Chains A and B, each alone.
Chain A
Amino acid sequence: MSYRMFRSSVTVSILALAVAFLVHMLSYGLLEQAARNVAYRELQEQRAFGELLTRMTTADTQESIVHNLASGARAHRNEYQAWSGESPAAVEGAGRIAAKLEQAADYLDHLPAATRAALMADLTPRQLFDRLKDPINWRAFSVRLRELSLRSPLGDLRQFKRLLFDQLPVLMEFTDSVQKGHQRAIAQIAQQYPGLAAQQVAAHPPPDFLPTLRGTGFTVENVQLDGLRAYAERTQDIAAVNRLILMQETRARIARESQINLESVGLDEVMQYVDGKKRAKWLSEVLMGAGAPKHFTSARVLDLATTYVHEHKLEDAVGEGDFKIEGGWLGMSARTWWLIALSFLVCVVGVANALLMSVTERFTEIATMKCLGAMDVFVMILFVFEAMIQGVIGGGVGLVLGFILAVLRGLADLWTLITGATGALGEVGIGMAVSLTIGVGLAALAAVGPSFIAARLPPMEAMRVD
């Protein structure tokens, strides 16, 4: 009896492990994605402030104008229309050309490496487009395309040619006028607030700040003035802290009074070092000693450090470059799916083996039941049912185990950002229900073979004496 308990618990643990693996992968993927989404949104807000401040001092580059036009964002189109002085229809037309250009560049960027090298050497798509304006280069390019039997960018070579030779110059003319308009706007702002950098203006915004911006063509409908002010202040303060820390004397003092090496004293290290009120007070004193303005109190320093570290975590979580939702079903890669499928295969084989042993062990019992009038179907159901109960228990244990592991891993990888992922809990719940069903289904599947053997057992086995 205890032997059977042991074997049954082995079956349950195999099932629990398989379900735990699935649940872990599923819920970790979902939680991670949700956490990254939250982080991305938070970071995006900060980046928007930064972008606005940059654009108040520097005109957009040609590439970013094309990109913004192609993305079709309403705010940018309005700005460009104001700065270029063109009609809405002209902006719309430029947007269409920009979209085509991006499409062609995207196609070339995503060619297989070898093909790409053969077609355009190490040029970027934009460089290639510039070169193709020369008819000789164009002819060589179209011959190369045919040799590689490649589809032309935009699908049709004539359309691509029209884009390069007719439409691109129009677009370039438009971007030039946008840039000029943008520079005029920047000059107007500088005139309005003489002697002040954009950050300083934003940190203490005058009452007519947003109307002035709007007057010069900026789209500022979505800008939260409070957020912008806090961002500008913080950026200024961080820059000040950085400047002070890098002074020879302060560096030496910091190295002396903290556990940071002299060589590695820098903004990152110091900000991470300040993790509580005590250390914030210390840093505040250090900065004051180095001639920091009065508002660098310990509370302010702690706030700066906390926000700084938090923002770095956000950046780590979101990753470099553009944020993209990871491909694959339920956010899992093909490799993960293979692993899960493999674990299920192992699980089914293991459970089938355990059940087969259970059947062999109970030959006499099964045969006796058949002598007493049990039908084949009854015997089959008996074993499938046993397996399914094991599936429910194993699945339940696996659910808890997998979820706990996913949360722990999330905490290790993404720190407290994972707590922002509560929005994904509904999906995780659905994933868990699916996993439990799969676990029970696997157990039932594994039981089919052994229960078939049990059902076909001749009843005269019961007469055997051993």
Chain B
Amino acid sequence: MVTAATNEAQADKAVIIRTLGLEKSYGMGEAITYALRGVDATIYRSEFIAVMGPSGSGKSTFFNMIGALDSSTKGKILIDEVDVAQLSAVELAFLRCQKIGYIFQSYNLIRYMTAIENVTVPMTFAGVAPEEARRRGMALLDLVGLKDRWSHRPIEMSGGQQQRVAIARSMCNNPKILLADEPTGNLDLKTGQDILNILQRINKELGVTIVCATHDHRLLNVCDRIMWIRDGGVERVENRANIKITLASIEGRA
């Protein structure tokens, strides 16, 4: 359902995630329910794409699929030209560890670890030496502006600070893709804006592809493209440039 116009506009860019006829259903026979009904989507390298949609639209399912967290009933997911369904458990763990960074709505920091320990956890999974992990972890905490808070535990930090630690953690193995699930959902306006600024910097300066599920309309200011999902399908995909003009009609339709 990707429009011809956008297709042509993006044709010269490298693809990082592609889904082909993606379907996901629960239950069997009469009681079968579809969460996704044949989604074809393409996400390009180094772009910042926002995924929007009302709850129950299949947005979360789609999100889990492209993050290699869930398997599809039908269709293919290609991450960096690799079919996720063909990967073994160990290869999947490697993919999650090295290629994809995850940011969660409720931060999901490990409660009894300090900020720097939280940041270095994925590096231990990747087999990075402790000193090297610590050095890189401190650099990442510096990037998100929490260098002097490295020894604090999640309980001693505000929501915004916790989310910044989570962003540092997601970045620690230099992933190609960042998946953010409502990163500003639990935050107030100002801290939410800070988080978006950090994400934008990561996207622009480091060239990391960012896929961000959100309800936050401020995201329209920072993203490159927006994808609307409704009733288990992609309703439309637009470049940001095109949206500003039709903003009123979108608001009206929502």
Asked if B97 CB lies within 8 Å of chain A CBs, one says yes
Are the C-beta atoms of A376 and B108 separated by less than 8 Å?
no
In the bound complex, what is the Cα–Cα distance between A365 and B121 (angstroms)? 12
Among A368, A372, A459, A463, the most chain B Cβ lie within 10 Å of the Cβ of A372
Are the C-beta atoms of A463 and B64 separated by less than 8 Å?
yes
Task: Enumerate chain A residues within 8 angstroms of B169, measured Cβ to Cβ.
Answer: 372
Q: Which residues in window 52-75 of B have CB below 8 A to A?
A: 60, 63-64, 67, 69-70
In the bound complex, what is the Cα–Cα distance between A465 and B104 (angstroms)? 9
Task: Enumerate chain B residues within 8 angstroms of A465, measured Cβ to Cβ.
Answer: 105-106, 185
Give the residue of A370, A372, A375, A458 whose beta carbon is less than 8 angstroms from that of B70: A458
Are the C-beta atoms of B104 and A463 separated by less than 8 Å?
yes
Among A371, A458, A466, the most chain B Cβ lie within 10 Å of the Cβ of A371
In the bound complex, what is the Cα–Cα distance between A372 and B121 (angstroms)? 8
Contact with A along B98-110 (1 / 0, CB 8 A): 1000101110101
Which residue on A lies nearest to B71, using beta carbons?
A458
Among B98, B108, B181, the most chain A Cβ lie within 10 Å of the Cβ of B108
Asked if A113 CB lies within 8 Å of chain B CBs, one says no
Give the residue of B102, B112, B122, B126 whose beta carbon is less than 8 angstroms from that of A462: B102
Which residue on B lies nearest to A455, using beta carbons?
B89
Are the C-beta atoms of B98 and A460 separated by less than 8 Å?
no
Among B93, B94, B97, B121, the most chain A Cβ lie within 10 Å of the Cβ of B93
Asked if A207 CB lies within 8 Å of chain B CBs, one says no
In the bound complex, what is the Cα–Cα distance between A376 and B96 (angstroms)? 13
Asked if A1 CB lies within 8 Å of chain B CBs, one says yes
Are the C-beta atoms of A375 and B96 separated by less than 8 Å?
no
Asked if B28 CB lies within 8 Å of chain A CBs, one says no
Asked if B90 CB lies within 8 Å of chain A CBs, one says yes
Which residue on A lies nearest to B186, using beta carbons?
A465
Asked if A397 CB lies within 8 Å of chain B CBs, one says no
Which residue on A lies nearest to B121, using beta carbons?
A372
Asked if B111 CB lies within 8 Å of chain A CBs, one says yes
Are the C-beta atoms of B64 and A373 separated by less than 8 Å?
no
Give the residue of B64, B96, B104, B105 whose beta carbon is less than 8 angstroms from that of A370: B96
Task: Enumerate chain A residues within 8 angstroms of B111, measured Cβ to Cβ.
Answer: 1, 365
In the bound complex, what is the Cα–Cα distance between A458 and B65 (angstroms)? 12
Given contacts A371-B69, A373-B98, contact A463 B60 (CB under 8 A): yes
Task: Enumerate chain A residues within 8 angstroms of B181, measured Cβ to Cβ.
Answer: 463
Given contacts A364-B108, A368-B104, contact A460 B69 (CB under 8 A): yes
Task: Enumerate chain A residues within 8 angstroms of B64, measured Cβ to Cβ.
Answer: 460, 463
Are the C-beta atoms of A368 and B108 separated by less than 8 Å?
yes
Q: Which residues in window 37-85 of B have CB below 8 A to A?
A: 60, 63-64, 67, 69-70
List the 8 shortest-distance A-B pairs measured between CB atoms, nearest first.
A373-B97, A460-B69, A373-B125, A372-B122, A368-B108, A460-B64, A371-B102, A375-B93
Q: A373-B94, A463-B181 are in contact. List 4 more A-B contacts (CB 8 A).
A: A371-B69, A372-B169, A373-B98, A374-B125
- B residues with CB within 8 A of A: 60, 63-64, 67, 69-70, 89-90, 93-94, 96-98, 102, 104-106, 108, 110-112, 121-122, 125-126, 169, 173, 181, 185
